[in-house]
Amino acid sequence: GAVVSQHPSWVICKSGTSVKIECRSLDFQATTMFWYRQFPKQSLMLMATSNEGSKATYEQGVEKDKFLINHASLTLSTLTVTSAHPEDSSFYICSALQDYLGEQYFGPGTRLTVT
Amino acid sequence: AQTVTQSQPEMSVQEAETVTLSCTYDTSESDYYLFWYKQPPSRQMILVIRQEAYKQQNATENRFSVNFQKAAKSFSLKISDSQLGDAAMYFCAYRSIQGAQKLVFGQGTRLTINP
């Protein structure tokens, strides 16, 4: 089956620093990837839609300059949390939309802790 | 904009019994997809079942089946012969067939299986 990986699975960073999270589709091409944020015991909140070769589309209320998204290839999208603060601590999940079948597959998530 | 509502924050069921999780949605579109996702403690999102709105027949996947009532905009999930491994958060999700194909999630239902 289609596999999506995320790296790192867990990261701790200091307030004010930036952290990059990678999302890779391992065995299929994905022109479109999605980034979600999930707070404890809550649902997934879509942050942005990442499109290969073009700018990401951010959901209302998501700061573009804080959450930088780059989708440089058909198998890789990255989310960079810039100038991280404790309130950015959360679980970040990506998903990849398989080009051929149109199915969406999820990564295992990344736990970000900002101290 | 589409919305998805899961009115049961928590449900519990005895092992080997049957449980039904509720989901309602709101949309003005006539064709779309509906999904149930499972999120176990590992937090990996797993697709349980998918329903195309144009299909009148309810989808089934082994012990999992749905009751899709298009006019009522209802999409419930029935789990038969519940197993301990079914314990998880369950999310109902909507996806348009047009546009970015992003998923809209409900709030989730935490399912506990009692041995």
Contact yes or no for B21/B6 (Cβ under 8 A): yes
Phi, psi of A87 (to 5 degrees): -70, -10
Interchain CB contact of B11 with A (< 8 Å): no
Interchain CB contact of B40 with A (< 8 Å): no
CA distances from B7 to A43, B23, B74, B110 (A): 13, 7, 12, 11
Strands A10-13 and A110-114: parallel
Contact yes or no for A111/A11 (Cβ under 8 A): yes
The residues facing A112 across adjacent strands are A11, A90
Round to the nearest angstrom and report the end-to-end CA distance of chain A. 37
- Residue located via tokens 């573009």: A64
Predicted local confidence at residue B1, as pLDDT: 83
Which parts of chain B register pLDDT below 50? Answer: none
The answer to whether A95 contacts B45, with C-beta atoms less than 8 Å apart, is yes
Contact yes or no for A30/A98 (Cβ under 8 A): yes
Predicted local confidence at residue B57, as pLDDT: 94
Interchain CB contact of B98 with A (< 8 Å): no
pLDDT level of residue A16 (50, 70, 90 thresholds): very high
The answer to whether B43 contacts A104, with C-beta atoms less than 8 Å apart, is no
Q: Which of A43, A49, A102 sits opposite B91 (nearest CB)?
A: A43
The answer to whether A108 contacts B43, with C-beta atoms less than 8 Å apart, is yes
The answer to whether B102 contacts A46, with C-beta atoms less than 8 Å apart, is yes
Predicted local confidence at residue A72, as pLDDT: 85
A60-81 tens-digit pLDDT:
999 999 999 999 899 999 999 9
DSSP string, A52-114: TTS--EEPTT--TTTEEEEEEETTEEEEEE-S--GGG-EEEEEEEE-TTT--EEE---EEEEE
Choose, out of A10, A106, A110, A111, the residue to mutate when testing the contact with B (most B CBs < 10 Å). Answer: A106
A85-109 tens-digit pLDDT:
999 999 999 999 987 777 899 999 9
Q: Which of B44, B102, B106 sits opposite A43 (nearest CB)?
A: B106
Predicted local confidence at residue B100, as pLDDT: 75
Q: Once rounded to an integer, what is the mean pLDDT over residues A1-29?
A: 95
DSSP A29: -
